[in-house]
C-alpha cells in the first residue's frame, strides 16, 4: 500500500513509516510531497494520506499520528508503548513526558538538517528506530552507570534542564503573537500576503521570518499556513452560514471561486459544493421538535 504525507519529515512522518513497515505492512511504500498536494496525490494514486489535518491518520487531542496507528492496528508490543510516548514527546515538544524525547528530537532534527533528500532521510531514520526498538525491548531497564553518584548528578541536572526548558517553551517571541494578529486581521481581505512587507511591519529580517515561521505555526511554511487558515474559515462558513460559495470565496480572501475550489479540494479532498451537501446531510433534523 502507498502512504503519502507532506515533505521534510522530522519525527512523526519518519516514525510512522517505520511502525507501519514493522507491524502493519512490510511492503508499504511512502511518498513525500508539498503540503497542498497531499490530498490530490492521495486521491490520484489511491494512497493513504497521513499526518496532515483532516484525514483519518492524524493527531487527535494530545496524541500524535504514531499513537493513532498503534491504536488502529491494535499493536500491543510493550516496546512500542514505550516508543510511542517518546515519539509523542518529541513530536509535540513535550519532552517532560519521556526523558528520551529530547534526544530523539535532537537526533531527528540533526538528520533532517544534514540530509535534504526525504527518502534518504527515511532510510537513515529506520536505523534509529530499529535501535530504539531494540533498546525498548531488551535494554529499557539497563543504565549506563548503575546508581553511581555521577549518574545521580546527571539526573539532577537533566531534571533541572527539563523544568527550565518547559519554562522557556512559554517564552515565544513577541513577533509570533503580532504576526498571528496581522494574519487574522487581514485574512478576509488580503488576496495575497507579502512576507517582505509583513517583515517590515514586525521589524524583522525577511529571511529570518521565513526560516523561523514553521517553528511556531504548526510546522507549516508561510504560504501553507495562510491557505490552511483560509480553508478552515471556509469550512466554518460552509457549515454554519447561508452564504453562497462565491461569497464564501470572497470572505476568505480568494480572488475568484475557481481558485477557491481548487485549494479547497486540495485540502479536503472534496469540492466546496459536495462538502456543503454532506455537511447539510449530517446536521440533525430539528423540524417539528
Q: Residue 123 and residue 25: Cα distance in Å, rounded?
A: 16
In a domain, 154, yes or no: no
pTM: 0.56
Count CB neighbours of 268 within 10 A: 19
In a domain, 150, yes or no: no
Q: Please state the rounded mean pLDDT for residues 196-225.
A: 86
39-91 pLDDT, tens digit per residue, is 999 999 999 999 988 899 998 888 999 999 999 999 999 999 999 999 999 98
Clarify whether residues 103 and 222 are in a common domain: no
Clarify whether residues 71 and 25 are in a common domain: yes
Query: What contacts 24+ positions apart, CB below 8 Å, involve 35-38?
Result: 35/6, 35/7, 35/220, 35/221, 35/224, 36/224, 36/227, 36/263, 36/266, 36/267, 37/266, 38/4, 38/5, 38/6, 38/266
- Residue 82's Cβ-side half-sphere holds a number of Cα atoms within 13 Å equal to 16
In a domain, 109, yes or no: yes
Banded pLDDT at 282 (limits 50, 70, 90): low
Distance (Å) of CA 190 to CA 141, 148, 163, 227, 251 = 56, 62, 41, 12, 10
For 243, the domain range is: 174-282
Q: Residue 246 and residue 38: Cα distance in Å, rounded?
A: 25
Number of domains in the chain: 2
Amino acid at each position: 500500500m502507498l502512504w503519502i504525507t507532506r515533505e521534510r519529515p522530522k519525527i512523526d512522518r519518519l516514525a510512522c513509516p517505520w511502525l507501519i513497515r514493522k507491524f502493519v505492512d512490510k511492503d508499504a511504500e511512502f511518498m513525500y510531497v508539498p503540503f497542498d498536494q497531499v490530498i490530490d496525490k492521495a486521491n490520484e494514486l489511491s494512497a493513504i494520506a497521513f499526518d496532515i489535518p483532516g484525514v483519518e491518520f492524524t493527531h487527535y487531542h494530545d496524541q500524535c499520528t504514531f499513537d493513532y496507528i498503534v491504536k488502529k492496528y491494535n499493536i500491543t508490543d510493550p516496546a512500542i508503548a514505550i516508543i510511542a510516548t517518546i515519539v509523542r514527546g518529541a513530536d509535540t515538544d513535550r519532552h517532560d513526558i519521556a526523558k528520551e524525547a529530547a534526544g530523539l528530537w535532537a537526533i531527528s532534527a540533526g538528520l533532517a538538517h544534514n540530509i535534504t533528500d526525504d527518502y534518504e532521510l527515511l532510510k537513515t531514520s529506520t536505523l534509529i528506530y530499529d535501535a530504539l526498538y531494540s533498546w525498548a525491548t531488551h535494554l529499557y531497564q539497563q543504565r549506563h552507570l548503575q546508581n553511581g553518584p555521577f549518574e545521580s548528578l546527571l539526573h539532577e541536572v537533566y531534571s533541572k534542564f527539563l523544568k527550565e526548558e518547559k519554562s522557556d517553551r512559554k517564552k515565544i517571541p513577541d513577533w509570533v503573537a503580532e504576526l498571528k494578529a496581522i494574519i487574522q486581521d487581514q485574512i478576509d481581505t488580503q488576496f495575497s500576503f507579502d512576507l517582505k512587507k509583513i517583515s517590515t511591519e514586525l521589524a524583522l529580517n525577511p529571511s529570518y521570518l521565513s526560516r523561523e515561521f514553521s517553528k511556531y505555526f504548526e510546522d507549516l511554511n508561510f504560504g501553507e499556513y495562510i491557505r490552511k487558515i483560509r480553508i478552515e474559515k471556509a469550512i466554518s462558513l460552509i457549515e454554519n452560514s447561508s452564504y453562497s460559495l462565491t461569497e464564501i470565496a470572497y470572505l476568505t480572501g480568494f480572488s475568484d471561486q475557481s481558485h477557491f475550489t481548487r485549494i479547497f479540494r486540495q485540502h479536503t479532498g472534496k469540492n466546496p459544493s459536495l462538502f456543503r451537501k454532506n455537511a447539510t446531510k449530517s446536521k440533525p433534523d430539528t423540524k417539528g421538535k
